Amino acid sequence: MSKKNTGESVVRIFDTTLRDGEQSPGASMNVDEKILLARQLEKLGVDVIEAGFAASSEGDFESVDRVSRVVKRPIVLSLARAQEGDIKRALKAVDRARRPGIHIFIATSDIHMKHKLRMSRNEVLDAAVLSVKFAKKHMDYIEFSAEDASRSERDFLVEVFTEVIRAGANILNVPDTTGYAIPSEFGSLVRYLIERTEGSERATWSAHCHNDLGLAVSNSLAAVASGARQVECTINGIGERAGNTSLEEIVMALRTRKDLFGMTTNVVTEQIYPSSRLLSQITGIPIPINKPIVGDNAFAHEAGIHQDGVLKQKLTYEIMTPESIGMSGNRLVMGKHSGRHAFSERLKEMGFNLNKVDMNRAFLRFKELADKKKEVYEEDIEAIVAEEVFRVPGRPDRYELLYLNVNSSSNAIPSATVRIRIDGQECVDHGTGDGVVDACYKTIAKITGSRSRLVRYTVKSITGGTDAQGEVSCLIEEGGVRVLGKGAHTDIIIASALAYIHALNRQEYRKHFRQMVERQGP
């Protein structure tokens, strides 16, 4: 197991999956999903959790507030613009955190100041200092970010950082907001700032990189080599546009090349794989098979010469072990004779602490699956949990799939007959389409009267073999609101229908929730 470290040679891991990561297209999460992920991040051992941007919406405020209440060890932050209103909201949202903090930002590049903020350098400097001073009256832990730092004038950055340290900032963050920097350049910028900023030694320097040129991890490592002692990152590298620095890559690079960097982190690396899988389950964004560290192929040796080498001595081709990131070689879980107790123990080992009702629902689904499939793998169990636990909480589903029959042949139009229970009443219809999935989706839309648009549809096989479970994710949109649905089944047409029905149920929940909020007023 990884050990907890204290001292100078530690690089602090600042996780922003719940804030910058959630800005990733299609990655929005509801509050319950964020709580689930926040608990996993705590288990993973991250030092800081950026739980959201409290002033940006009621939903974000609630997420920051709830994460603050459940997380014990990491610092919990909210992002805030350099404005009193934002800061007050952020302070209120982290009020119940055991270790609260605030993250204030303002852009410092000429291009942002001129076109976005329409502020002069002096106005930006004043806003930065005033906001840090205001926050400092209420909170000790203050991070300040100079947005678009990598395209800002270096000496202006030095001036801003010097003044915000005087005003009380303890963490100084250098963002490569647009993913524009090149490692040698970014490393040199961080060194320049550390050397020239007055009071620099009293602060922790941090790097926040985006991956537009595929250099986020490299730039973050260059920053560490130049003296940064915090890296901001997200699980699976999700985030705005091409994403952020990937947590698993930066942590494993520092660990694997400790000989070079001489640095450690507090991350329990064995929790990396479960965290990566959990995020993928929640958002429905698949992990690319060749993704470093957590992709399915990350430890798979295909070439005979490699296999031979690895069998003789793993170090020939393996610089890390799958076990070190919590990807066990044997992910076979159990079969149809496994009992409830063994199942619940296994779920706990996998990081799922379910309440009794969810556990019973998951166990019934597991038994059904074990009857159809000889071997049940961890991935199958994850899919079941995702299906059962990420359902609309505390409210019966409006739609329930009762029956599905599809017809497909090389010389007939694909068709589907679907029966759905809507608010307790059975409705049935028949329709055709370009393929069986299309026929099935069109018929479901006809029965439910849904006007939503299908934005993304993905199918993946959860485990190997022709009896594998298929997992379908479908993202639908109506009135600008996007909702993700998931379904898993050994038959992918049924999985597709379940995913669509799941999305429609979640959409109903959102509508209901909005009506409640509107009725209650601001």
Instruction: Give me the residues that bind ligand KIV (CB under 6 A), please.
Output: 20, 79, 105, 145, 147, 173, 175, 177, 208, 210
* Residue 275 and residue 49 in contact, taking contact as beta carbons nearer than 8 Å: no
> How far apart, in whole angstroms, are the C-alpha atoms of residue 196 and residue 159?
9
* Residue 443 and residue 429 in contact, taking contact as beta carbons nearer than 8 Å: yes
* Residue 286 and residue 458 in contact, taking contact as beta carbons nearer than 8 Å: yes
Which of Zn ion, ligand KIV, none sits in contact with 66, Cβ below 5 to 8 A by type? none
> How far apart, in whole angstroms, are the C-alpha atoms of residue 291 and residue 48?
24
351: left (phi over 0), alpha (psi -120 to 50) or beta: left
**Strand ranges for 26-135 from DSSP E:** 48-52, 75-81, 100-107
Q: How far is the CB of 177 from ligand KIV (least distance, A)?
A: 4
Return the residue matching tokens 């899919």: 383
Stretch that binds Zn ion, among 15-23, 131-139, 312-320, 363-371 (CB under 5 A): 15-23
Return the residue matching tokens 């490569």: 176
Which of ligand KIV, Zn ion, none sits in contact with 105, Cβ below 5 to 8 A by type? ligand KIV
Nearer to Zn ion, 16 or 450 (CB): 16
Binding Zn ion by CB under 5 A: which of 20, 50, 249, 387?
20
Nearer to ligand KIV, 180 or 399 (CB): 180
Nearer to Zn ion, 104 or 499 (CB): 104
Q: How far is the CB of 47 from ligand KIV (least distance, A)?
A: 16
Which of ligand KIV, Zn ion, none sits in contact with 145, Cβ below 5 to 8 A by type? ligand KIV
> How far apart, in whole angstroms, are the C-alpha atoms of residue 145 and residue 171?
8
Nearer to Zn ion, 20 or 47 (CB): 20
Nearer to ligand KIV, 181 or 278 (CB): 181
* Residue 131 and residue 122 in contact, taking contact as beta carbons nearer than 8 Å: no
Q: How far is the CB of 179 from ligand KIV (least distance, A)?
A: 9
Nearer to Zn ion, 102 or 298 (CB): 102
Nearer to Zn ion, 169 or 420 (CB): 169
Nearer to Zn ion, 230 or 452 (CB): 230
Which of Zn ion, ligand KIV, none sits in contact with 506, Cβ below 5 to 8 A by type? none
Q: How far is the CB of 227 from ligand KIV (least distance, A)?
A: 19
* Residue 320 and residue 256 in contact, taking contact as beta carbons nearer than 8 Å: yes
Query: Do the bridges between strand 412-422 and strand 425-432 make them parallel or antiparallel, or are there none, so unpaired?
Result: antiparallel
Q: Interior CA angle at 446 toward 445 and 451, to 5°?
A: 50
Residue 34 sits at φ, ψ, to 5 deg, of -65, -35
Nearer to ligand KIV, 81 or 391 (CB): 81
> How far apart, in whole angstroms, are the C-alpha atoms of residue 236 and residue 408?
38
Q: How far is the CB of 251 from ligand KIV (least distance, A)?
A: 20
| Residue 457 buriedness (CB in 10 A; 0-12 / 13-18 / 19+) | middle
Q: 259: how many CB neighbours lie within 10 A of its CB?
A: 6
In three state form, how does the secondary structure of 493-521 look? HHHHHHHHHHHHHHHHHHHHHHHHHHHHC
Contact characters 57-96, Zn ion, x per CB under 5 A? ----------------------------------------
What's at 88, amino acid-wise? K
Residue 62, token pair as written in the block: 């609630």
Angstrom CA distances, 25 to 58, 327, 484, stand at: 20, 27, 12
Q: How far is the CB of 25 from ligand KIV (least distance, A)?
A: 16
Which of Zn ion, ligand KIV, none sits in contact with 163, Cβ below 5 to 8 A by type? none
Which of ligand KIV, Zn ion, none sits in contact with 246, Cβ below 5 to 8 A by type? none
Stretch that binds Zn ion, among 20-28, 76-84, 441-449, 508-516 (CB under 5 A): 20-28
Angstrom CA distances, 501 to 122, 348, 389, 419, 508, stand at: 54, 29, 15, 12, 11
Q: How far is the CB of 36 from ligand KIV (least distance, A)?
A: 23
Which of ligand KIV, Zn ion, none sits in contact with 109, Cβ below 5 to 8 A by type? none
Nearer to Zn ion, 175 or 487 (CB): 175
What's at 230, amino acid-wise? Q
| By CB under 5 A, residue 471 contacts Zn ion | no
Q: How far is the CB of 160 from ligand KIV (least distance, A)?
A: 14
Stretch that binds Zn ion, among 17-25, 76-84, 120-128, 394-402 (CB under 5 A): 17-25
Return the residue matching tokens 């996007």: 482
Nearer to ligand KIV, 173 or 264 (CB): 173
Q: How far is the CB of 55 from ligand KIV (least distance, A)?
A: 13
Q: How far is the CB of 23 from ligand KIV (least distance, A)?
A: 8
Q: How far is the CB of 20 from ligand KIV (least distance, A)?
A: 5
Q: Distance of alpha carbon 50 from its chain centroid, rounded?
A: 12
Number of shown-chain residues binding Zn ion (CB under 5 A): 1
Of the chain, the end-to-end C-alpha distance in Å amounts to 48
Nearer to Zn ion, 169 or 499 (CB): 169
Q: How far is the CB of 321 from ligand KIV (least distance, A)?
A: 33
Q: List interacting residues with Zn ion (CB under 5 A).
A: 20
